[in-house]
Amino acid sequence: MDAVVANPPYIRSRNIPDVELATAHLDDLGYEFDGNSDIYSYFFTHAFQFLREGGRMGFLTSNRWLTAEYGEDLERFLFENTAVDAVVTFQTQLFEVPLISTCITVA
């Protein structure tokens, strides 16, 4: 694919219905993520598998990965495999539901 644009579901690690299914593709990529990673972390890595060389990703997600310990795994993956063009955070809530601070990531 040339591009993947996504707004993955807001599901925290403890609420992922099938963690093994969500993380199975990481073996193919040679990565292991912290067991506390929210589901959108796996959307980034899985989408990457479908991009052609030079493809682009644009994701609207929680911004928790920027400050949470589990975010280090996602940061490492992004910086080792993509060129991160932008991470845009917002000072105010964008959505009433869910009550989550968001960010836009373009890589």
pTM for the full predicted model: 0.89
In whole angstroms, how far apart are CA 17 and each of 11, 27, 62? Answer: 9, 19, 19
The pair phi, psi for residue 99, each rounded to 5°, is -85, 75
pLDDT tens digits for range 4-27: 999 999 899 999 999 999 999 999
Q: Is the pLDDT of residue 96 over 70?
A: no
